[in-house]
A = this chain, B = another copy of it.
Amino acid sequence: MSSSPALPNTTALDPAVAARLKRDAHGLVPAIAQQYDTGEVLMMGWMDDEALHRTLTTGRCTYWSRSRAEYWVKGDTSGHLQLVKSVALDCDGDTVLVKVDQVGAACHTGDRTCFDAGQLLITGS
């Protein structure tokens, strides 16, 4: 069920929230997942209205997978769930911040976060 795409206009996302969303040309907004207690930025995914609705109502962070073109309940296959603690929209409605309790690794590589292996710069100050 979690991987079945919603039919157009079948999302039950609160219309008041939907009215605030500024989506890209593909109907998506970037969603930042952050560990709620440590503050680690874990990963970034994409949500359409229905993914946001599912994230708000199921307690499990749900993205739209652009590569697979389907809904993606984080952890459904890996067990590395993201249990939703809070959801916020930014000031211009084009980015979602989801604070979660991440079970295990957020990254498909096994790293805790998707940014662990990609340091480009660390300043001394």
Copies of this chain, tallied across the complex: 2
Q: Quote the shortest CB–CB distance from A110 to chain B (angstroms).
A: 10
CB of A73 closer than 8 Å to a CB of B: no
B-contact bits for A12-41, CB 8 A (1 contact / 0 none): 000001001000010000101010001111
Q: Name the B residues within 8 Å of A51 (CB-CB).
A: none
- Interface pick from A2-10, A74-82, A115-123: A115-123
- A41 and B86 contacting across the interface, CB-CB below 8 Å: no
Q: Quote the shortest CB–CB distance from A10 to chain B (angstroms).
A: 20
Task: Considering the complex, give the chain B residue whose CB is closest to the CB of A94.
Answer: B44
B-contact bits for A70-96, CB 8 A (1 contact / 0 none): 000000000000001111111111110
Q: List 26 A-B contacts (CB under 8 A).
A: A17-B120, A25-B25, A32-B41, A34-B39, A34-B41, A41-B41, A43-B90, A59-B123, A84-B121, A84-B123, A85-B122, A85-B123, A85-B125, A86-B121, A86-B123, A88-B115, A88-B116, A88-B120, A89-B115, A89-B118, A90-B118, A91-B107, A91-B108, A91-B117, A95-B114, A97-B115
